[in-house]
Amino acid sequence: MGRLVVLILVTFLCSKGHSAPTDRKTPLTITFPGEIQGGMSNVELAQNYLLQFGYLAQGQGSNATLRNAIALMQQKLGPKETGVLDAETLEAMKRPRCGVPDIGKFNTFEGDLKWDHYHLPVSILNYSPDLDPEVADDAFARAFKVWSDVTPLTFTRINGGEPDINILFGTEDHGDPHPFDQKDGLLAHAYPPGPGVQGDAHFDDDEFWTLGTGTVTSRIKKYGFCASELLYTYGGNSNGEPCVLPFIFDGQSYGGCTKEGRQDGYRWCSTTANYDQDQKYGFCPNLDIIPALQMAGMTKLWCATTSSYDQDLKWGFCPDQGYSLFLVAAHEFGHALGLEHSEVQDALMYPMYSYVKDSQLHKDDVRGIQYLYGTGSGGRPNPSPPKSTKKTLATRRPRITSRPLPPVNPAQDACKVEMFDAIADLQGALHFFKDGRIDTAFQDPTSKSIFFFSGRKFWQYTSTSALGPRSIEKLGLSKDVEGIMGSFARDNGKALLFNGEQYWRLNLKTLTIDNGYPRQTAADYPGVPGDSHDFLYQGNYYFCQDQYFWRVTSRKQQDMVGYVSFDLLKCPQN
């Protein structure tokens, strides 16, 4: 029904917001399924949301921490980044969405997981009564095809054995530690690849599952029936077809039913976009005169299912377009394959639900899934077979000392190099290192000195001299730090040095590590691989691993996953 006011027919009543008062002395507040109960304040609601989706840790509740968490949520989900719990942010928190956290994973899983095989058996354990099983089967098949079209993955329905992915409809407490919240709010969730419940996708059966634009019907224990010109008209010459809004009449545009052009007071509409051209019309359902309920702060459309709510206290939500099982399933299957949420609002893996007709994968989705599994054919090279789903700690790449690799001939095509040891922006140009010796390098923007790191040693080159090798312990790093794998310098006289899951901030004037370090890379740069080599290029931070990079903006917002060869070196894709 969108934003249009729903009209009333005969003994059924729809209301949005406030309507005519009853004879009660105080407003009647109705608690709907899915609404926050218990008189929560906005701050309490926000804290629960931020905890649930990974922006706050348990026990963090100071004003400064809450502001930072709100700012991070705003950065990822679209509201203007203010750190303030404003109306726009609260509205975003109330939108229907996926139940998987935006930061971190379910507390039973760690590490970046993917399947170690390409052919995945699937089992559908039950169905929602909202859709015929054949319709649901087709929606799931199309949702899997979204991912199999761009990867070597295949999905096979089985009725026994041990599937990798189980599909389940459930309500509230449904057998895992993450209950649903009745209608609206959390739509579904899924677990990353692995044994047991991992890889499974769960859908909230308190939702109204459709294909996103399905016919709206009355359902026992689901909804009452509210008449609307969006559903039908009567009389006229259009056989009950619904209004088409807006429509043109007498050269003017009308966004709803009108009495214009009639002397009898009946409300009518065109059932095509242009009445002047097609002469098709119908009469709109009329407003009932039954007294309405006064409601406090509600925005959902609802209706009484008897002639008197005051007497019978019977009600239901008005029919809506429901949630597209295909779109929600395609999103959840992305999680089941190993993808986390995207911050790109047009991406399928963006956490908030919105219906998009003829939806297609965004390039951000494609890059993410092809990073994990490669392409099925043509265009881009197939990577090595997927790694095991078992977690491996970020470790330094092994160094072969007995047979050092020869340096790449400068005349050789760089596009033929599968992986580089390091990349750095030096003297205004990107440098790609491939000789087994340089781990990372950066240039101080102020002094123009260039720093190279190899193992536990570093060198400093100025315009007149070369200093080194010196031990990284001279910088204040402890003996257990095996080396620096990534680095970049900023205009504030500081450089960041990365090694696996930790990083340090280096004062370039004193060549000492600042107090308060090391810090956790994942805490300040969520979503990037821990065992990456890193560099600063054109104002963005790049975290590289194997053939791929994760680009992070200066506001620490990940906005791209790409290929070193195709997106940085501009190699041809053939």
* List of domains in the chain: 42-98 (1.10.101), 119-213+322-373 (3.40.390.10), 414-568 (2.110.10.10)
Neighbours of 373 (CB within 10 A): 22
Give the length of the chain: 574
Tell me which residue of 212, 197, 215 sits closest to 328, measured CA to CA. 212
| Strands ordered across the beta sheet of 450-454 | 440-443, 450-454, 457-461, 466-471
Which residues does the annotation place in the binding site for Zn(2+)? 98, 174, 176, 189, 202, 331, 335, 341, 349
Average pLDDT over residues 456-476: 85
Q: Is 226 exposed, middle or buried (0-12, 13-18, 19+ CB in 10 A)?
A: buried
The amino acid sitting at 299 is T
* 539 Ramachandran zone, left/alpha/beta (phi>0; psi -120 to 50): left
Q: Identify whether the C-beta of residue 471 lies closer than 8 Å to the C-beta of residue 478.
A: no
Q: Is 568 helix (H, G, I), strand (E, B) or coil?
A: helix
Residue 26 in contact with residue 37, Cβ under 8 Å?
A: no
pLDDT in tens, 224-283: 344 566 667 777 888 888 889 899 999 999 988 888 888 777 788 999 999 999 999 988
**Average pLDDT of the residues in 196-207:** 89
Q: Roughly how many angstroms between the first and final C-alpha of the chain, as a whole number?
A: 48
Give the span between the Cα atoms of 191 and 339, in whole angstroms. Answer: 10
Reference 480, options 423, 518, 506, 452; nearest CA is 518
Q: Which amino acid is at 231?
A: L
**Rounded distance between C-alpha atoms, residue 250 and residue 414, angstroms:** 67
Q: For residue 384, is pLDDT > 80?
A: no
Q: Give the strand pairing for 186-190 and 154-157.
A: unpaired
- Which residues are annotated binding-site positions for Ca(2+)? 130, 164, 181, 186, 200, 204-205, 207, 439, 441, 534
The residues annotated with a catalytic role in the active site are 332
Residue 439 CA neighbour count, 13 Å, CB half:
23
- The H or E element that residue 49 is part of is helix 42-52
**Closest alpha carbon to 540 in 502, 488, 463:** 488
Rounded to whole angstroms, how far apart are CA atoms 205 and 553? Answer: 39
Joined tokens for residue 557:
């917002």
Task: Pick the closest to residue 352 from 86, 92, 42, 34 (CA basis).
Answer: 92
- The crossing angle, in degrees rounded to 10, of helices 63-77 and 42-52 is 70
pLDDT confidence band for 103 (50 / 70 / 90): low
Most confident of 240-244, 331-335, 485-489, 561-565: 331-335
30-39, 70-79, 200-209: lowest mean pLDDT where?
Answer: 30-39
Q: What is the mean pLDDT of residues 171-184?
A: 80
- Residue ranges of alpha helices (H) inside 124-220 are 133-148
Binding residues: 98, 130, 164, 174, 176, 181, 186, 189, 200, 202, 204-205, 207, 331, 335, 341, 349, 439, 441, 534
Pick from 100-104, 172-176, 191-195, 461-465: least confident: 100-104
Helix/strand/coil for 200: coil
In three-state secondary structure terms, 416 is helix
Helices (H), 201-268: none
Residue at token pair 């570093």: 458
Give the tens place of pLDDT for each residue, 405-428: 344 454 467 787 777 888 888 888
Residues 6+ apart with CB under 8 A from 127: 133, 136, 169
Maximum alpha-carbon separation in the chain: 98
Q: Using CA atoms, how far apart are residues 369 and 354, in angstroms rounded to an integer?
A: 21
Give dist(CA 348, CA 146) in Å, integer: 10
pLDDT at 471 over 50: yes
The pTM score is 0.43
What pLDDT score was predicted for residue 253?
92
**Which H/E stretch holds residue 498?**
strand 494-499
Helices (H), 78-126: 87-93
Take residue 353 and report the two structure tokens written for it: 């639900």
Report the alpha-carbon distance of residue 53 to residue 73 in Å, rounded. Answer: 9
pLDDT of residue 380: 40
- pLDDT higher than threshold 60 for residue 388: no
Write the DSSP string, 516-556.
Answer: T--EEHHHHSTTS-TT-EEEEETTEEEEEETTEEEEE-TTS
pLDDT at 304: 62
- Residue 296 corresponds to which amino acid? A
CB 408 within 8 A of CB 434: yes
Per-residue pLDDT tens for 548-561? Answer: 888 887 777 777 77
Could you tell me the two tokens for 540? 């963005």
**147-160, pLDDT tens digit by residue?**
999 999 999 999 98
Say if residue 273 is exposed, middle or buried (CB neighbours under 10 Å; 0-12, 13-18, 19+): middle
DSSP 8-class letter at 31 = P
